[in-house]
Amino acid sequence: MRIDIISVLPELMESPFRTSILKRAMDKGLAEVHFHHLRDWAVNKHKQIDDEPYGGGAGMVMMVEPLDKCISELKSQREYDEVIYLTPDGLTLNQKIANSLSIKNNLIFICGHYKGIDQRVRDLHVTKEISIGDYVLTGGELAACVLADSVIRLLPGVLNDEQSALTDSFQDDLLSPPIYTRPEVYKGLEVPKILLSGNFPKIEEWRHDEAVRITKEKRPDLL
Ligand code: 6GU
């Protein structure tokens, strides 16, 4: 998978892709992430990429031309499956969306800033708008990292068996059951006996029941 991320602040996104599981995914060639500094696509001598909104109002708007030039150049080099605009007014990211993007080859992410992007960028290029939740961030960069992480970890070969994405919370619309490791008793708190029994069918049944109980308690909306 290849992800091209267009941003005015690419430096904000460097470390997540240089660390731990995402880094290993890059090193193994399972994912490539390319950053494009929008300023490099500015059209006037001031390197301007934002301007005042027509009709007035507070805040600046990201101009159509730099974004269109950058996206068009990328599209001339390869086919893209989706051009995704990260914006608080997009569809809220969930596991289903991450799953569906994990089977794509080439994605473009546009990180919004200021009041957003000129509508014509959406009209010309954007195929999906994604938010990471009902709150406002300073820009789309952190959301782009969240989205990329949720997708890249699903690519075959990125996680090993122990980290398997198949047993994640949300993969079956249930939260995860409680988990324990050594010691058996800590400050009087005991590991549930069933987990020490070696009876794996019973353990699986217990885990499922606990997952349902916890989901009912914390996130009844998922059921
Ligand atoms: Cl994608 N962008 C911004 N700026 N804020 C957000 C968001 C995105 N998702 C949630 N809040």
CATH of the domain at 208: 1.10.1270.20
Q: Is 157 annotated as belonging to a binding site?
A: no
Q: Is 147 annotated as belonging to a binding site?
A: no
Angle at alpha carbon of residue 35, lines to 18 and 27, rounded to 5°: 35
Region for residue 122 given its phi and psi (left: phi exceeds 0; alpha: psi -120 to 50; beta: otherwise): alpha
Q: Which of 6, 136, 138 to mutate to test the pocket of ligand 1 (most atoms within 8 A of CB)?
A: 136
Last residue of a domain, one of 104, 123, 152: 152
Contact 72, 122 (CB under 8 A): no
Give the pLDDT score at 162.
Answer: 66
Q: Is 137 annotated as belonging to a binding site?
A: yes
Q: Which of 137, 146, 147 to mutate to test the pocket of ligand 1 (most atoms within 8 A of CB)?
A: 137
User: Splitting the chain (223 residues) into consecutive groups of 10 residues, what average pLDDT does each group show?
Assistant: 98 94 96 97 94 96 98 98 97 97 98 93 98 97 98 94 75 91 98 98 97 97 92
Q: Is 151 annotated as belonging to a binding site?
A: no
Centroid of ligand 1 to alpha carbon of 196 (angstroms): 44
Residues 182 and 95 in one domain: no
- Cα 130 from Cα 86, distance rounded (Å): 5
Specify the ligand 1 atom closest to the Cα of 138: 4
Residues 146 and 204 in one domain: no
Residues 68 and 128 in one domain: yes
Centroid of ligand 1 to alpha carbon of 24 (angstroms): 27
Residues 148 and 199 in one domain: no
Residue 132 in domain: yes
Give the pLDDT score at 204.
Answer: 96
Residue 166 in domain: no
CATH number where 40 lies: 3.40.1280.10
Residues 107 and 139 in one domain: yes
Residue 54 in domain: yes
The tokens for 89 are 């007014």
Residue 44 in domain: yes
- Measured from the CB, is residue 215 less than 6 Å from ligand 1? no
- Cα 41 from Cα 139, distance rounded (Å): 19
Residue 129 in domain: yes
Residues 178 and 148 in one domain: no
Other beta carbons less than 10 A from residue 211's beta carbon: 18
Residues 176 and 148 in one domain: no
**Structural domain of residue 210, as residue ranges?**
172-222
Residues 133 and 177 in one domain: no
ipTM, two decimals, is 0.97
Residue 34 in domain: yes
- Full-model pTM: 0.94
Residues 114 and 194 in one domain: no
Residue 157 in domain: no
Q: Is 135 annotated as belonging to a binding site?
A: yes
Residues 32 and 136 in one domain: yes
Residues 131 and 194 in one domain: no
- Measured from the CB, is residue 66 less than 6 Å from ligand 1? no
CA distances from 173 to 72, 170, 208, 222 (A): 38, 4, 12, 6
Residue nearest to atom 7 of ligand 1 (CA): 88
- Cα 179 from Cα 157, distance rounded (Å): 25
